[in-house]
């Protein structure tokens, strides 16, 4: 996609994850400098993994930095969220390696769907994505509500 911070994530891609939890990022989603630890992977409460590129990591940092130490609920949400998070870059073959915690969170096995969300992308277990898209009403849980309150 060109240069750091100018990438757009659109489309749907199906890829296989190998035994080392490596997954190929579509070529059109890669950018110069993505071999460094520039991606941030977060467990999304809807059951997938959300990947933030550098531009979005900067925005996320701004939002997280305003959560006061006195905001006990906010601090708890951040601890829960970031204790499962990971950072990574692409290897020479354009693969990323997902942590075991993230793989378990998304119930990934062999196949994975990479779904663009314009400024981020999500990694889904294919059947979970199908169920999510077919579900007529999103179920809100406490984590989702708190993440929304924090603007994350």
Q: Is residue 4 part of a domain?
A: no
Q: Is residue 2 part of a domain?
A: no
**Residues 6 or more apart from 63 whose CB is under 8 A from it?**
150, 151, 152
Residues of the chain with pLDDT > 90: what percent? 60
In DSSP notation, 43-62 reads E-TTSSEEEE-HHHHHHHHH
CATH number at residue 51: 3.40.1550.20
Q: Give the per-residue pLDDT at 133.
A: 87
Instruction: Classify 16 as helix, strand or coil.
Output: strand
The answer to whether the pTM exceeds 0.85 is no
Q: What are the pLDDT digits (tens) for 58-98?
A: 888 888 999 999 999 989 999 998 999 999 999 999 999 99
Domain tally for the chain? 1
Q: Give the per-residue pLDDT at 4.
A: 44
Which band of pLDDT confidence, cut at 50, 70 and 90, is reported for residue 6?
low
Q: How far apart are CA 11 and CA 122, in angstroms?
A: 11
Q: Is residue 47 part of a domain?
A: yes
Residue 129, both tokens: 């994505």
Q: Is residue 1 part of a domain?
A: no
User: Mean pLDDT score of the chain, rounded to an integer?
Assistant: 87
Q: Contact, 106 vs 123, CB < 8 A? A: yes
Q: Is residue 46 part of a domain?
A: yes
Q: Give the per-residue pLDDT at 140.
A: 56
Q: Is residue 119 part of a domain?
A: yes
Q: What are the pLDDT digits (tens) for 110-134?
A: 999 999 999 999 999 999 999 998 8
Q: Is residue 139 part of a domain?
A: yes
Domain with 89, as residue range(s), is 12-149
The answer to whether residue 2 scores a pLDDT higher than 50 is no
Beta strands in 35-148 (DSSP E): 39-43, 49-52, 86-88, 95-97, 111-116, 121-124
5 vs 137, which has greater pLDDT? 137
């Amino acid at each position: 996609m060109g240069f750091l911070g100018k990438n757009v994530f659109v489309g749907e891609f199906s890829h296989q994850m190998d035994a080392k939890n490596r997954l190929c990022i579509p070529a059109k989603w890669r950018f110069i400098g993505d071999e460094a630890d520039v991606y941030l992977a977060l467990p999304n409460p809807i059951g997938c993994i959300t990947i933030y590129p550098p531009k979005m990591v900067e925005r996320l940092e701004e939002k997280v930095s305003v959560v006061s130490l006195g905001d006990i609920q906010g601090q708890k949400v951040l601890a829960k969220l970031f204790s499962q998070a990971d950072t990574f870059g692409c290897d020479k073959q354009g693969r990323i390696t997902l942590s075991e915690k993230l793989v378990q969170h998304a119930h990934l096995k062999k196949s994975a769907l990479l779904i663009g969300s314009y400024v981020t992308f999500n990694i889904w277990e294919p059947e979970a994505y199908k169920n999510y898209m077919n579900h007529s009403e999103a179920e809100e849980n406490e984590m989702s509500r708190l993440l929304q309150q924090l603007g994350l």
